[in-house]
Amino acid sequence: MIQLVLALLVSILLVVGAMQYLKATTNHGKFVEVPDLSKLSVTEMRSLIDRSKLRYEVLDSANYNPTYPRFSIIDQTPRAGSKVKENRKIYITVNPSGYKKVTIPNIIQVTQRNASSMLKAVGLDVERVTYVDELGKDMVYNIKYKGKYIVPGDKLPKTSKIELICGNGNITSRAEVKAGSE
């Protein structure tokens, strides 16, 4: 009977001791508030994270957001205002310097309507369509970006605005031009 009471007493002491040890080592009930890192530069974010006694890890930052400054924080997990333990890792996403580059699809000898759809699919916009004397009506013959000719396979920043040079369906043969000048 005495041994049973001693075993019960030792078990209770071990459980209480373990609970007190865990409470002390895990900072039970002690939290740090996650600061709002949005729109801060990486340098500002680092100093704020250090002062808050937190850690950070940068996640993939492939999606450019034009409403945020370049190289600023656009997202964080856990969210600002959350209560976390000291030394917790905060996952952040940094705004890249600009849109990623996309490859211009082969839209030469394609109708203007199909070319516009293909360009939109890769993230490019048609700013203007210019018509020239060529036989294929609405057929794309050339592509321009900022006034310079470009070719399929070139890379441009996503959301770039380009100009399509299309045929108007009229062609004047050299013989007609020569006859008209005589």
Would you say residue 98 has pLDDT above 90?
Answer: no
CATH number at residue 49: 3.30.10.20
**Residues 144 and 165 occupy one common structural domain:** yes
Q: Is 40:48 a contact under the CB 8 Å cutoff?
A: yes
Would you say residue 21 lies in a domain? no
Q: Which of 60, 80, 97 is the last residue of a domain?
A: 97
Query: What pLDDT score was predicted for residue 177?
Result: 46
**Residues 77 and 116 occupy one common structural domain:** no
**Residues 116 and 66 occupy one common structural domain:** no
Continuous H helices in the chain: 2-25, 42-51, 112-122, 174-181
**Residues 88 and 119 occupy one common structural domain:** no
- CA 156 from chain centre, in angstroms, equals 16
From CA 73, how far away is CA 108, in angstroms rounded?
A: 40
Would you say residue 10 lies in a domain? no
Would you say residue 7 has pLDDT above 70?
Answer: yes
Which residue, chain included where needed, has tokens 């999606």? 63
From CA 170, how far away is CA 167, in angstroms rounded?
A: 8
Write out the residue range of the structural domain in which residue 121 sits.
101-170
Which tokens hold the place of 178?
A: 């020569």
Would you say residue 2 lies in a domain? no
Name the least confident of 27-31, 100-104, 144-148, 154-158. 27-31
**Residues 124 and 144 occupy one common structural domain:** yes
Length of the chain: 182
Which tokens hold the place of 93?
A: 């996403």
Would you say residue 153 lies in a domain? yes
Determine whether 19 is exposed, middle or buried from the number of CB atoms within 10 Å of its CB (0-12, 13-18, 19+). exposed
Would you say residue 86 has pLDDT above 50?
Answer: yes
Query: What pLDDT score was predicted for residue 27?
Result: 67
Would you say residue 54 lies in a domain? yes
Would you say residue 110 has pLDDT above 90?
Answer: yes
